[in-house]
Amino acid sequence: MPSISNLALAGLLAAGQGASASLIGAIQLEKFIKQETPVALQGILDNIGPNGVKVPGAGRGLVIASPSKSNPDYFFTWTRDAALTFRTLIDDFLFGNKALEPLINDYIYGQARLQTVSNPSGTLLPNGAGLGEPKYMADGSRYNGNWGRPQRDGPPLRAISLIQYSNYLVSKGQTVRVRDVIWPIIANDLAYVGQYWNSTGFDLWEEVNGASFFTTQAQYRSLVEGATLAKALGLPCTACSEAPQVLCFLQSYWNGKFVTANFIQGSHNRGGVDANTVLGPLVAFDPAAPCDSPTLQPCHPRMLANFKNFVDTFRDPALYPINKGTPQNKGIALGRYPEDTYFNGNPWYLITLGSAEYLYAAIASWEKSGGITITSTSLPFFKDLYPLARVGTFGKLHPAYYIIKGLVKTYADSFVAVSQKYTPKNGMMAEQFLKVEPFTPISAANLTWSFASFVGMNHRRQGHLPASWVPKGVTLPSTCAGSSVKGTYAPATQAGAPNVTIPCISNVLFQLNASTYYGENLYVVGNSPTLGNWDLETAYPLMSSNYTAERPLWYATIPLEMEEGVSTLRYKYARQQDCGQEWIVEEEERVLEVPACVKDGSEEVLAERDEAFEGPGGSSGGC
């Protein structure tokens, strides 16, 4: 590692900054990182059940996205956030924080159970569809609300994290534990990837339906690593044979200039520039993979061109006033994608820090491979930092290697410095910070993923690297095929999952006449887990897509699952008001003899209801 003063010198040479100013900045940055590291780690632990102090009520091993319960309500566990958080916690464990092992075991337990929870995406048995559910209630029960589902990144991300820990156990001779306890969870997730990688789903931002670079990249890694682990355990992995096709598909996101983040179904207002393409390579990072590997590592010339294109998009002061006047060789505040309107579209901590991590990862790859190769594709990225850069290969003996490496490190640090600047004194990181004055934190407070991104960034910054996973000499099939392997699924009972069987389901169409104002919503609640077991928070939402003034129709075809031995459904309709006012719930219980259920996954509607809301209408709270 070059010393701080060397870096300052390199910065001086290339950018003409005052050396003393960069030295002071560098010292302050080190101080910030030192202070923030324990705060961020504790921030993560505080949000994990059952003992996390900020998330009372959270289930064992369940990672709550944020303690925030309103505006926005993030008091749920997302499979993606949880897997990415544990990727970093397992890294921290492997790098020496042995105290984390009980928590990792809680995660295993929690995920084994979640896999079996029937939900609006489906069930574990017989077809694995339930694994695509993006989020669950904090206690691990199903979430019935409308949502962008399924999301297909959850299973591969979870598999990657569990494999990371399993590989460690195998290296310690604990093969039996891996095979009997953890592998069954991983096997379900891999089966899901093999079966559905070529089916559409929602992106990691839960907004667009289609195919997503981030998801595809995670899917590929999971299948490759899954195959390696299966082999070590002496077990088959049928789904893993899909890996070459997924890798083939991964190449198609490159459009000649940058990586198009999503192939989107339906109309949309997206240009394709998206942080998804910067976060994906962090998940796929293998410091030993060559930079031209089709796995698209952070140091790949196309990915560097893409990185520059992504960052430059946010340099526009009309888009992000916060970045106004920042020179081209300095880090800026970064958000999800330029068209974002969520909380008006602001920079995110995890993306700004993720971009720093991205650059540290690229540096690590150059160090391992013994040089930097600049191609015409990546040249503009390098020229921003080092105007004298030119196409060529610069080995470790070449002075340009050290100059460029130092400049990229300084560039990476400058993204961390941006997050430093906008993190409050107490170190608490929300999801976003305002792109306009006063640049203060906004949206979910204490976001677990923000804290995890800090810890993960710092691992790479300190040179703590993940294990290698890319097979040597991996090549692409000559033609891509959108294939699929039908999976088999089973509850991971030895890890703590209940021994579920194929659920028995009766599809019932509920149709309700209820005049509503804009912002009011209708639900069914009742004595079935599908209807929230009388809990309004998990009641089943009706849709208003066929609502007219003449026929104010709310409806849903609900796949009812009844408690063992119960065949009479008792239910009520409930109006949810727009500003958190009391719900308006019908007084009288309604009754339905539930038609005999079927186990074949058929969508046939077995009964219909056509009813009218009994009781008062709602009124807007005017919020």
Other C-beta atoms closer than 10 Å to the C-beta of 399 total 8
User: Which residue lies nearer to ligand NOJ by CB, 207 or 586?
Assistant: 207
Write down the least CB distance from residue 449 to ligand NOJ, Å.
Answer: 6
Which tokens go with 361? 């990862």
User: Which residue lies nearer to ligand NOJ by CB, 276 or 506?
Assistant: 276
* 422 within 8 A of 439, measured Cβ to Cβ: yes
270 part of the interface to ligand NOJ, by CB under 6 A: no
Which of 81, 203, 225, 286 is an active site residue?
203
Q: Which residue has the tokens 């960034």?
A: 457
Q: According to CB under 6 A, which residues from 329 to 388 bind ligand NOJ?
A: 342
Segment contacting ligand NOJ (CB under 6 A): 15-23, 71-79, 110-118, 265-273? 71-79
Fill in the per-residue mask, 20 to 59: x = in contact with ligand NOJ (CB under 6 A), - = not in contact.
----------------------------------------
65 part of the interface to ligand NOJ, by CB under 6 A: yes
Of residues 587, 554, 360, the one with CA closest to residue 457: 360
Does residue 147 have a known ligand-binding role?
Answer: yes
* 594 within 8 A of 505, measured Cβ to Cβ: no
Measured from each CB, the residue nearest to ligand NOJ is 342
Write down the least CB distance from residue 2 to ligand NOJ, Å.
Answer: 36
* Cα–Cα distance measured from residue 375 to residue 402, given in angstroms and rounded to the nearest whole number: 18
Which tokens go with 138? 């904090």
- Written as one letter, the residue type at 264 is I
Pairing of strands 262-264, 209-212: antiparallel
* Cα–Cα distance measured from residue 177 to residue 169, given in angstroms and rounded to the nearest whole number: 8
Segment contacting ligand NOJ (CB under 6 A): 70-78, 265-273, 433-441, 469-477? 70-78
Which tokens go with 401? 């290697």
449 part of the interface to ligand NOJ, by CB under 6 A: yes
80 part of the interface to ligand NOJ, by CB under 6 A: yes
Per DSSP, 471 falls in state P
User: Which residue lies nearer to ligand NOJ by CB, 83 or 240?
Assistant: 83
User: Which residue lies nearer to ligand NOJ by CB, 151 or 377?
Assistant: 151
Please tell me the count of residues contacting ligand NOJ according to CB under 6 A.
12
274 part of the interface to ligand NOJ, by CB under 6 A: no
* Cα–Cα distance measured from residue 326 to residue 7, given in angstroms and rounded to the nearest whole number: 19
Residue 600 makes CB contacts below 8 A (sequence gap 6+) with none
Q: According to CB under 6 A, which residues from 192 to 221 bind ligand NOJ?
A: 204-207
* Cα–Cα distance measured from residue 69 to residue 178, given in angstroms and rounded to the nearest whole number: 37
Of residues 230, 225, 158, 231, the one with CA closest to residue 189: 158
Write down the least CB distance from residue 206 to ligand NOJ, Å.
Answer: 4
442 part of the interface to ligand NOJ, by CB under 6 A: no
What's the first-to-final CA gap in the chain, in angstroms? 55
Write down the least CB distance from residue 310 to ligand NOJ, Å.
Answer: 17
Segment contacting ligand NOJ (CB under 6 A): 34-42, 75-83, 152-160, 259-267? 75-83
Write down the least CB distance from residue 518 to ligand NOJ, Å.
Answer: 19
Write down the least CB distance from residue 432 to ligand NOJ, Å.
Answer: 10
Catalytic residue flag (residue 312):
no
User: Which residue lies nearer to ligand NOJ by CB, 206 or 586?
Assistant: 206
- Which stretch of DSSP H or E encloses residue 209? strand 209-212
Write down the least CB distance from residue 508 to ligand NOJ, Å.
Answer: 28
Catalytic residue flag (residue 203):
yes
User: Which residue lies nearer to ligand NOJ by CB, 207 or 312?
Assistant: 207
Alpha-carbon separation of residue 379 from 296, 301, 365, 388 (angstroms)? 17, 8, 17, 10
Write down the least CB distance from residue 558 to ligand NOJ, Å.
Answer: 23
* Cα–Cα distance measured from residue 444 to residue 134, given in angstroms and rounded to the nearest whole number: 18
User: Which residue lies nearer to ligand NOJ by CB, 274 or 384?
Assistant: 274
Which tokens go with 279? 């976060």
Other C-beta atoms closer than 10 Å to the C-beta of 161 total 27
- Which stretch of DSSP H or E encloses residue 590? strand 590-593
Per DSSP, 323 falls in state G
Write down the least CB distance from residue 594 to ligand NOJ, Å.
Answer: 33
* 221 within 8 A of 283, measured Cβ to Cβ: yes
74 part of the interface to ligand NOJ, by CB under 6 A: yes
- Among the listed residues 75, 78, 253, 381, the single contact to ligand NOJ using CB under 6 A: 78
User: Which residue lies nearer to ligand NOJ by CB, 342 or 534?
Assistant: 342
Per DSSP, 63 falls in state B
Q: Which residue has the tokens 């084994």?
A: 112
Pairing of strands 506-513, 605-612: parallel
101 part of the interface to ligand NOJ, by CB under 6 A: no
Write down the least CB distance from residue 443 to ligand NOJ, Å.
Answer: 8
- Among the listed residues 2, 50, 72, 615, the single contact to ligand NOJ using CB under 6 A: 72
User: Which residue lies nearer to ligand NOJ by CB, 293 or 448?
Assistant: 448
* 586 within 8 A of 572, measured Cβ to Cβ: yes
* 616 within 8 A of 515, measured Cβ to Cβ: no
- Written as one letter, the residue type at 591 is V
64 part of the interface to ligand NOJ, by CB under 6 A: no
Which tokens go with 139? 């206690």
Q: Which residue has the tokens 């219980």?
A: 589
Which tokens go with 212? 């997503």
Which tokens go with 532? 């929230």
Q: According to CB under 6 A, which residues from 516 to 575 bind ligand NOJ?
A: none
User: Which residue lies nearer to ligand NOJ by CB, 180 or 207?
Assistant: 207
Which of 101, 180, 206, 586 is an active site residue?
206
* Cα–Cα distance measured from residue 52 to residue 3, given in angstroms and rounded to the nearest whole number: 39
Segment contacting ligand NOJ (CB under 6 A): 77-85, 290-298, 529-537, 608-616? 77-85
* Cα–Cα distance measured from residue 211 to residue 421, given in angstroms and rounded to the nearest whole number: 35
Segment contacting ligand NOJ (CB under 6 A): 72-80, 118-126, 368-376, 452-460? 72-80
- Which stretch of DSSP H or E encloses residue 194? helix 183-196
**Residues that are catalytic:** 203, 206
Cite the annotated binding site by residue number.
147
Interface contacts to ligand NOJ, rule CB under 6 A: 65, 72, 74, 78, 80-81, 204-207, 342, 449
Cite the annotated binding site for substrate by residue number.
147
